[in-house]
Chains A and B, each alone.
Chain A
Amino acid sequence: NAGVTQTPKFQVLKTGQSMTLQCAQDMNHNSMYWYRQDPGMGLRLIYYSASEGTTDKGEVPNGYNVSRLNKREFSLRLESAAPSQTSVYFCASSVWGVLGEDTQYFGPGTRLTVL
């Protein structure tokens, strides 16, 4: 049981290049999330998918697109990378607890640098 996996672990892009960050979970969770983490800013939600076939914008969606390919996989795409998108990107998946709490589990992250 690998939990949440992300690829790649590291990536360097030039301004204007595109790339897709991959995320997969094997915990049979319905909901999946993409966050970015910047120094002094904490974790900020980019997009999330409450269930297969649905996606919604989070706090900072501009410059990103997502695809919920199936229940296991949720990808994040940067169409034209900008230096402001230099960050650490975390994928998460979640399960609802018995008390109604939404507990999220994170992947190991992708460190992206845009030059």
Chain B
Amino acid sequence: RKEVEQDPGPFNVPEGATVAFNCTYSNSASQSFFWYRQDCRKEPKLLMSVYSSGNEDGRFTAQLNRASQYISLLIRDSKLSDSATYLCVGDGGSQGNLIFGKGTKLSVKP
């Protein structure tokens, strides 16, 4: 079964900390990867797509390592508002077939 695995956490960090999440995927044919953010009792929202060259959006940096089949998300200068569950997502090799990890919970404390 194609899977995306991630540490469930929770990660408890102070404001201003840098935190990194990793996830691994089993389907070597996967081409597209994403990080979604999900707040408690809300829908998942796209945080960023992950490209082979790595990409950055403000305080967030995503990296893809195809050789080792893992994806990472780095959050710098954590804010209280970053507290959420972060979902790692990879495509299953066909359209409509996104495989979601179970999520990593982040709690940023004052």
Give A contacts to B, CB under 8 Å: 31, 33, 40-45, 48, 50, 56, 58, 90, 94, 97, 99-109
Select B96's contact among A31, A40, A44, A107, beta carbons within 8 Å. A31
Give B contacts to A, CB under 8 Å: 31-32, 34, 42-46, 49, 51, 87, 91, 95-98, 100-103
Q: Take A31-B95, A50-B95, A50-B96 as given contacts and tell me if A90 and B44 are in contact as well, using a CB distance cutoff of 8 Å.
A: yes
Interface SS, B side:
loop
Q: Is A102 a contact of B32 with CB atoms below 8 Å?
A: yes
Q: Is B44 a contact of A43 with CB atoms below 8 Å?
A: yes
Specify which chain B residues have a CB less than 8 angstroms from the CB of A104 in the assembled complex. Answer: 46, 98
Interface SS, A side:
strand
Measured CB to CB, the nearest residue on chain A to B96 is: A48
Q: Take A41-B102, A106-B44, A108-B42 as given contacts and tell me if A101 and B96 are in contact as well, using a CB distance cutoff of 8 Å.
A: no
CB distance from A4 to the nearest CB of B (A): 8
Select A100's contact among B32, B100, B102, B103, beta carbons within 8 Å. B32
CB distance from B37 to the nearest CB of A (A): 11
Measured CB to CB, the nearest residue on chain B to A88 is: B41
**Complex: how many Å from CA A74 to CA B102?**
25
Known: A50-B95, A105-B46, A106-B44. 16 other contacts (CB 8 A): A31-B95, A41-B102, A42-B102, A42-B103, A43-B87, A56-B96, A90-B43, A94-B96, A97-B49, A99-B51, A101-B31, A101-B32, A101-B34, A101-B49, A102-B32, A108-B43
CB distance from B25 to the nearest CB of A (A): 13
**Complex: how many Å from CA A64 to CA B34?**
28
Q: Is B95 a contact of A102 with CB atoms below 8 Å?
A: yes
CB distance from A110 to the nearest CB of B (A): 11
